[in-house]
Amino acid sequence: MSITKVTQHPTQNEALIFERSQTGRVGYRLPQLDVEETPADDLMPAEFRRTDDLEGVPEVSEVDVIRHFTRMSTWNFSIDLGMYPLGSCTMKYNSRLNEKVARIAGFLNHHPLAPEDESQGGLELMYRLQEDLAEITGLPGVTLQPAAGAHGEMTGVMIIRAVLDKREGEASKQRRVMLVPDSAHGTNPASAKLAGFTVKTIRSTPDGFTDMDHLYELCGEGGIAGLMLTNPSTVGIFEKNIREICDAIHDAGGLVYMDGANMNALVGVARPGDMGVDVIHLNLHKTFSTPHGGGGPGCGPCCCTVELEPFLPTPKVVRENGGYRLEYDRPDSIGRVKAFFGNFGMMVRALAYIQTHGDTGLREATEAAVLNARYIAHYLEKDFEKPFEADTMHEVILSHKKQARKGVHTLDIGKRLIDYGFHPMTVYFPLIVDGAMLIEPTESVGRQELDAFVDAMKSIAKETVEDPDLVINAPHTTRIGRLDEATAARKPVLRWSPDMESTAKSA
């Protein structure tokens, strides 16, 4: 028997809120105004007041709001649903405890401009987190101000710039080259530019490491301000020459910035400060499990050596006479990178993560994350090309080389994974591997789910041979199919309007 549907179920075709709006519906109630009312024109002269009566802003009931967002939410994949193997994104479990403690009233209702002596709890919490991040990275100077990874990168390279300017004065102008490996995140060169640096790209060797000959050659050309290095690199391999790399940069008069995106491979096992790194940023929304939230908020603290500490942003939380205060008098500081003190709510969650894991748990998480990645690598290296031989750390890189011969590419494999119940891996990054598939299971996945993932990938490899169209046309199980992104970009429709559909379709 087949079921004929008259219309699509509302959970699958929830309209835009603007299309749902009905004049006169309300979703709120304010208390009665308890002061004598000032006449409108005395309150705000007419010339300053809105005249559009907020036309177009929706009118909906509270029930409408709940159903609207609940229905839309079901169209999302999430960590709580299953393995989210995005390489370099570290999609690990977001603990409910962390959500709970971040919502304690004494944190939520605290105004950042409240007097410091009445804000001691917030300041102490920040100080404790600074101390813990210093211990974890081996870099004692810490700022929690940057709001995300790229913001932390910008902070880090601006610190390098400030150090060089102070050390060399006018001569610093001759030192404006920031070296960035070809495997780096795009944010690295973009951040370097904000600090006034020119980017030179260092090649990787065929086995996935920084090309030392090329590094020395570039250092020899002079003008080196520094290096931005991700370690483990974006192909999931530890830079075995890390000390030599740092020495080379230091000998050339530059400083080493480490992109901490991949710290989930190192916490409790090795510390950037012990490798010769001068400054690093951390992504609390990766390594320290603050939720990614569909694209933020993040938190991107910077940790640096004692020598670089004076250059950290203003203000900084310091301890004094048993209390805590904000230090504003920092003459060498690069300045402020964000209003107030950073994404405090993320700091609460990160500290709760550290407390819950403790000394032993932090290392345990790192071991489990690396073991999980290694396990996947072990079972998939026959079915998919693994471009680098070196031991995988917390993520493994594969490529579509074998499948491309059948016309099946990385994107297709990623989309087909959706039909098997997994979020796609990171696709086409890093750029140095053609058809890269970067897989990071994190520690939050158990063996059965890893096995299921391995089986899914093997099955897709088999489908590529037996029925490539099945993979090329994936996904088959989602509410919508692959979207025409080229047309969307050619004539972008970026906001709702009553005639939006016709505009978009005429593109």
Please identify which residue in 2, 6, 7, 37 interacts with other proteins, judged by CB under 8 A. 37
Q: Does 504 sit near other proteins (CB under 8 A)?
A: yes
Q: Does 7 sit near other proteins (CB under 8 A)?
A: no
- Judged by beta carbon, residue 405 or residue 479, the one nearer other proteins is 479
- Judged by beta carbon, residue 405 or residue 483, the one nearer other proteins is 483
- Judged by beta carbon, residue 277 or residue 461, the one nearer other proteins is 277
Stretch that binds other proteins, among 211-219, 252-260, 432-440, 480-488 (CB under 8 A): 480-488
- Judged by beta carbon, residue 115 or residue 169, the one nearer other proteins is 115
Phi, psi dihedrals of residue 2, rounded to the nearest 5°: -110, 150
- Judged by beta carbon, residue 44 or residue 465, the one nearer other proteins is 44
Q: Does 74 sit near other proteins (CB under 8 A)?
A: yes
Q: Does 153 sit near other proteins (CB under 8 A)?
A: yes
Please identify which residue in 183, 343, 399, 410 interacts with other proteins, judged by CB under 8 A. 343
Within 269-308, the residues that bind other proteins by CB under 8 A are 269-271, 274-275, 283, 285, 289, 291-299
Q: Does 78 sit near other proteins (CB under 8 A)?
A: yes
Task: Give the number of other Cβ atoms within 10 Å of residue 117's Cβ.
Answer: 10
Return the structure tokens found at 433: 């591997």
Q: Does 110 sit near other proteins (CB under 8 A)?
A: yes
Dihedral of the alpha carbons of 100, 105, 108, 110, in degrees to the nearest 10: -150
Instruction: State the first-to-last Cα distance of the chain, in angstroms, to the nearest integer.
Output: 41
CB 400 within 8 A of CB 409: yes
Between CA 292 and CA 122 the distance in angstroms is 23
Stretch that binds other proteins, among 219-227, 303-311, 333-341, 395-403 (CB under 8 A): 333-341
Please identify which residue in 224, 228, 317, 354 interacts with other proteins, judged by CB under 8 A. 354
H or E stretch including 327?
Answer: strand 323-327
- Judged by beta carbon, residue 187 or residue 464, the one nearer other proteins is 187
Between CA 475 and CA 347 the distance in angstroms is 38
Please identify which residue in 225, 304, 308, 393 interacts with other proteins, judged by CB under 8 A. 393
Per DSSP, the three-state class of 456 is helix
Phi, psi dihedrals of residue 342, rounded to the nearest 5°: 110, -175
Q: Does 223 sit near other proteins (CB under 8 A)?
A: no
CB 378 within 8 A of CB 454: no
Q: Does 380 sit near other proteins (CB under 8 A)?
A: no
Stretch that binds other proteins, among 49-57, 213-221, 302-310, 396-404 (CB under 8 A): 49-57
Q: Does 22 sit near other proteins (CB under 8 A)?
A: no
| Number of residues located near other proteins, criterion CB under 8 A | 207
The b-or-e profile of 337-367 (16+ CB within 10 A means b, else e) is: beeebbbbbbbbbbbbbbeebeeeebeebbe
Within 411-470, the residues that bind other proteins by CB under 8 A are 414-415, 418, 423-424, 429, 443-447, 449
- Give how far Cα 361 sits from Cα of 260, 289, 353, 416, 443, Å: 20, 14, 10, 35, 11
- Judged by beta carbon, residue 204 or residue 283, the one nearer other proteins is 283
CB 437 within 8 A of CB 413: yes
Closest CA to 382 of 461, 456, 451: 461
Please identify which residue in 329, 495, 502, 506 interacts with other proteins, judged by CB under 8 A. 495
Stretch that binds other proteins, among 19-27, 249-257, 401-409, 463-471 (CB under 8 A): 19-27
- Judged by beta carbon, residue 385 or residue 440, the one nearer other proteins is 440
Q: How far is the CB of 495 from other proteins (least distance, A)?
A: 4
Q: Does 31 sit near other proteins (CB under 8 A)?
A: yes
CB 393 within 8 A of CB 232: yes
Residue 361 CB-half CA count within 13 A: 9
CB 496 within 8 A of CB 502: no
Please identify which residue in 203, 250, 330, 338 interacts with other proteins, judged by CB under 8 A. 338
Tell me the longest C-alpha to C-alpha distance in the chain: 83
Within 156-185, the residues that bind other proteins by CB under 8 A are 158, 161, 185
Torsional class of 294: left (φ above 0), alpha (ψ -120 to 50), beta (otherwise) = left
Between CA 59 and CA 22 the distance in angstroms is 6
Please identify which residue in 2, 4, 7, 38 interacts with other proteins, judged by CB under 8 A. 38
H or E stretch including 201?
Answer: strand 198-202
- Judged by beta carbon, residue 16 or residue 465, the one nearer other proteins is 16
Torsional class of 233: left (φ above 0), alpha (ψ -120 to 50), beta (otherwise) = beta
Please identify which residue in 115, 169, 322, 331 interacts with other proteins, judged by CB under 8 A. 115
Within 245-264, the residues that bind other proteins by CB under 8 A are none
Closest CA to 472 of 416, 397, 391, 392: 416
Please identify which residue in 10, 11, 73, 462 interacts with other proteins, judged by CB under 8 A. 73
- Judged by beta carbon, residue 73 or residue 465, the one nearer other proteins is 73
Q: Does 318 sit near other proteins (CB under 8 A)?
A: no
Bridge-based pairing of strands 255-260 and 224-230 is parallel
Please identify which residue in 375, 384, 388, 453 interacts with other proteins, judged by CB under 8 A. 375
Stretch that binds other proteins, among 85-93, 214-222, 402-410, 462-470 (CB under 8 A): 85-93
Between CA 86 and CA 373 the distance in angstroms is 12
Query: In 330-409, which residue ranges form alpha helices assigned H by DSSP?
Result: 344-380, 401-404
Q: Does 121 sit near other proteins (CB under 8 A)?
A: yes
- Judged by beta carbon, residue 293 or residue 465, the one nearer other proteins is 293
